[in-house]
Amino acid sequence: MSAAPDTAPSEPTAAERVRSVLAQAESLSLTTQGQSYDLIGMLSVGPKGRISLHPPADSPLAAGIATAPFGGLAALLDFTDIAPTAMRDRVRSRVTISGWLTRAEPDAPGGPVRLDVARVTLHTAAGSLDVGLDAFTLAEPDALAVEEAAMLTHLADAHEDLVAELLLLAGPQVPSGVLKVAPLAVDRHGLTLRCEYERGHCDLRFLFTAPVRDGAEAGEQIRRLLTGRRCPHRHDADAGVN
């Protein structure tokens, strides 16, 4: 089983994962003053992770911010990271960000709303982890974050043979009884496949020989996985997969 050198990262940091979720997000759930809102197409993320919302000027949310004491409204933002390919358990992670919503331009009540971030938490199958605000600010989204969904759906729809070859490469690392295999995630460090069973699943992570900068380089690295015979790391989940 191959492994990257100890000094080389094998996956994005927690802060980078959070920034990648935000870069991909088209929707989020917002809770404030006991009210919940599902916002679609109202998020923008600027440099250093600056989060802005763009609610309609006549919306209850905009009205709540306009009348909030001291000009700030406590808020909790929830983001769900969902695998773009079909599988049973598509939720890969969740991100919660708390802070205060204020007008980005105090003299423009109909303008964008800024979130002053107080806390960032990443939730995965391994547990929940608070991400430091400095780390969140300094991190960048993964190089493939924006392209990932298109890459994974293309891999699943047009390259089933390649996915099958990767599964064969895993060999004895894969328990018998696989019902389905699908691309789960890809980032600059590697590709992850999900193997589903009657009960549970296992994830296989194939590391690239070097971090990639875009989708073209990722495609080349995936092809090299087969020629270089790099065995994956395996993660099991749920009963029945041992």
Give how far the C-alpha of residue 158 lies from the chain's centroid of Cα atoms, to the nearest Å: 23
Same domain assignment for residues 55 and 22? yes
pTM for this entry: 0.90
Domain housing 162:
148-237
Q: On the CB side of 220, how many CA atoms lie within 13 Å of its CA?
A: 9
Q: What is the pLDDT of residues 29-67, one digit of tens each?
A: 999 988 999 999 999 999 999 999 999 988 888 888 888
CATH of the domain at 160: 3.20.180.10
The count of domains in the chain is 2
Instruction: State residue 240's pLDDT score.
Output: 39
| CATH number for the domain that contains residue 130 | 2.30.110.10
Mean pLDDT, to the nearest integer, of 7-28?
93
Structural domain contains residue 133:
yes
Burial of 152 (0-12, 13-18, 19+ CB in 10 A): buried
Residue 143 located in a structural domain: no
CA distance from start to end of the chain? 18
